[in-house]
């Protein structure tokens, strides 16, 4: 694998760990030229369902987009990267277990909200307030009251 720092073609694996649930392998690598270390993750390649947007467009599911939206909601919140990655993996597992070729975007959004609610109530409210496009303060208040219960 090519070094991300100096682009040297040869790197050496110095440590390998299997995740707790066995879904991926984490490898620490060291460059043979600059001696810098970096981490890679090895996952099986799977086909996720296509996401059908509200306007009918169909787009490929992208883990990067999912992580970015959840990270934005979790900004400055006390949630570790490991907790976020686990939540994303649970969402991906649910998507795969559906066995469907397509999934409506609102269903994916609901999955994200359920995971955020488990991780951090503030992040959940942040995401839900944008996702549900509240029209007035009363809708927002209902959501906050729901979280308080």
Residue 96 contacts residue 48 (beta carbons within 8 Å): yes
> What residues make up the domain containing 127?
50-148
* Helix residue ranges per DSSP H, the chain: 63-73, 81-98, 105-119, 121-131, 137-148
Co-location of 57 and 27 in the same domain: no
Q: Is the dihedral of CA 95, 84, 13, 3 positive or negative?
A: positive
Co-location of 73 and 140 in the same domain: yes
Co-location of 34 and 54 in the same domain: no
Beta bridge partners of residue 41, listed in sequence order: 26
**84 lies in some domain:** yes
Co-location of 92 and 136 in the same domain: yes
Co-location of 35 and 55 in the same domain: no
Co-location of 66 and 132 in the same domain: yes
Q: pLDDT digit of tens for each residue in the chain (149 aa)?
A: 899 999 999 999 999 999 888 888 999 999 999 999 999 999 887 789 999 999 999 999 999 999 999 999 999 999 999 999 999 999 999 999 998 999 999 999 999 999 999 999 999 888 887 777 677 777 767 777 777 77
**5 lies in some domain:** no
> At a CB cut-off of 8 Å and minimum separation 6, what does 82 contact?
none
pLDDT for 131: 74
């Amino acid at each position: 694998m090519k070094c991300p720092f100096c682009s040297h073609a040869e790197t050496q694996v110095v440590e390998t760990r299997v995740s707790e649930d066995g879904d991926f392998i984490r490898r620490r690598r060291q460059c043979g030229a600059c001696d810098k270390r970096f981490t890679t993750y090895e996952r099986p390649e799977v086909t996720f369902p296509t996401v059908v947007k509200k306007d009918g467009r169909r787009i490929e599911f992208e883990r990067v987009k999912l992580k970015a939206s959840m990270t934005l909601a979790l900004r400055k919140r006390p949630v570790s990267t490991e907790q976020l990655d686990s939540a994303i993996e649970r969402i991906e597992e649910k998507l795969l277990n559906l066995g469907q070729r397509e999934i409506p975007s609102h269903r994916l959004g609901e999955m994200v909200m359920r995971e955020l609610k488990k991780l951090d109530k503030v992040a959940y409210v942040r995401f839900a307030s944008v996702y549900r496009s509240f029209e007035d303060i009363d809708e927002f208040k209902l959501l906050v009251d729901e979280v308080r219960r």
